[in-house]
Amino acid sequence: MQVIISSELAPYRIGSGQYIFLMAIAFQQPITQKALSEKLLIDKTTTAKAITKLEAEGYVRRETDPVDNRYQLLYLTESGHEVVPKVQDALSRVKNKTRKGMTDEEYDVLLGLLKIVLHNLTDQEEM
């Protein structure tokens, strides 16, 4: 799956490990790097590397939080705003490939089951 996503996103110089950060920032900006890590359930080091890559590509910018200068707020740049619909289209193409041979109902059941699995894996109380 990551190979297919990487292939679809290659024209935009976004790897399969970065698009999730780009999309999360697009839907909730500004956001701190810490909050982004927590929201996506991804460790801070991985988040930092992905944000650095997106920043180097010109899709994300950091600004010091005016309320607390210890934090950096993440925003999309103009290029970031322009690439988001293209990334959404690419992800839609991947989604359509994964749905082949399934009815809408079967696909919805699959997504529901995967959400349960994810919840079970991230439920810290039972560990």
Q: Give 72's contacts (C-beta < 8 A, 6+ positions apart).
A: 32, 33, 62, 63, 64, 65
Right CATH for 2-101 from 3.90.550.10, 2.40.50.140, 3.40.630.30, 1.10.10.10: 1.10.10.10
- DSSP-derived letter for residue 66 is S
pLDDT of residue 1: 77
Domain boundaries, the chain: 2-101
pLDDT less than 50: residues of the chain:
127
pLDDT in tens, 31-40: 999 999 999 9
Average pLDDT, the chain: 92
